[in-house]
Amino acid sequence: MLIGKQVLERLENEKIDEQAVEVDLRGNMLHSLSLRGCFYLKRICVSGNAITSLSFDVELPCLEYLDASSNLIERVEPGDVRTMQQLRHLDLSNNAITYVPQSIGKLRLLRYLDLSLNMIETIPEQVGELIHLQFLDLSCNRIKRLVGVLEMLIHLERLFLQSNPLEEVDGISDLIALQVLDISDTLLSDPHLSHVMTIVKAHDFAQIP
């Protein structure tokens, strides 16, 4: 089901088909979104709208892919993530998020997490429980410390931390699958920087988009 490239401000009167498996609403003028009854939904893209919060008030047991990038989201409520146990791909980049709930660690099947271009200051340790994660982008935020988060992410292949006031990070040496790392434009002290740069040189830095 595709409803993209239309001028929609809300979906209160135009209800999404409860049998829909894939929905594309990118580039509209949505301010809110309700997915009540969409039990079969697997993929949804709502990027490029004006949504201010994620408020999923129903179970989405089949949802695997959610792209809510480039909106006006300020906060992700804990209930939003507990309803999406099958989620593999979560893109919340380019919003105004300041807080990441601890319950994000319940998304145990997540492989892709993009929180870049927000206003996040703290990453909860529960992100370290996402043991299947392969891609993590935390760039362009306000993160100063990343401690007790990375060491269990043994499947992580791509890690982006650039453009943060980052002063302390640990666990990078435990990332045995790491292929791409960007820590440019941070405030890491020399001991941290020399350690991280050793890892960077071991891989193809040109892969970074």
* Nearest alpha carbon to residue 69 among 161, 9, 137: 137
Q: Which of 47, 44, 1 is nearest to 35 (CA)?
A: 44
What's this model's pTM, rounded to 2 decimal places? 0.85
pLDDT level of residue 43 (50, 70, 90 thresholds): very high
Please state, in angstroms and rounded to a whole number, the distance separating the CA atoms of residues 121 and 189.
19
| Predicted confidence (pLDDT) per residue in 86-141, tens digit | 999 999 999 999 999 898 998 999 999 999 999 999 999 999 999 999 999 999 99
Nearest-angstrom CA–CA distance, 17 and 6: 17
Q: Cα dihedral angle (58, 31, 81, 21), rounded to 10 degrees?
A: 60
DSSP β-ladder status, 43-45 and 65-67: parallel
